[in-house]
Amino acid sequence: MSVEIKGFEELAGKLDRLAENADSIDGENTVSFDELFTPEFMQTYTEYDSIESFFGQSRWTVETQDDFKHIPEDDFDRYVDDHTGFNSWEAMLSAAAREWTTRQLSA
């Protein structure tokens, strides 16, 4: 008795693409805030439509990475907690990074 199973070639192709995509993001990656915090992410998890409006409505001026580095962490965590579904910037950043990784792997 034998059984015919179809679809292995298609599955193998998908696994090959997944492996290639994983290789392409292996190691450290530099990702812009716009790419990391997509409008879909922001609309799902925050009160804002974009990362620009998220920062624009804050009490801080964030035009450069240096500006961002000078925001007091505790104050920023409170802002994130008040205006997003996350209790800290680290939690928000981690969720965005997971979604970015998923998008890269499925590309």
Query: What confidence tens digit (pLDDT) does each residue in 15-51 have?
Result: 556 555 445 555 566 788 899 999 999 999 999 999 9
Higher per-residue confidence, 86 vs 21 = 86
pLDDT of residue 98 exceeding 50, the answer is yes
Q: Establish how many alpha carbons lie within 13 A of residue 26's alpha carbon, considering only the half-sphere containing its beta carbon.
A: 7
d(CA 17, CA 23): 10
Which pTM was predicted?
0.72
Question: Given this model, what pLDDT does residue 59 score?
Answer: 96
Q: Are 86 and 36 in contact (CB under 8 A)?
A: no
Phi-psi region of 90 (alpha: psi -120 to 50; beta: other; left: phi over 0): alpha
d(CA 96, CA 23): 20
Please give the span between the terminal C-alpha atoms of the chain, in angstroms, as a whole number: 40
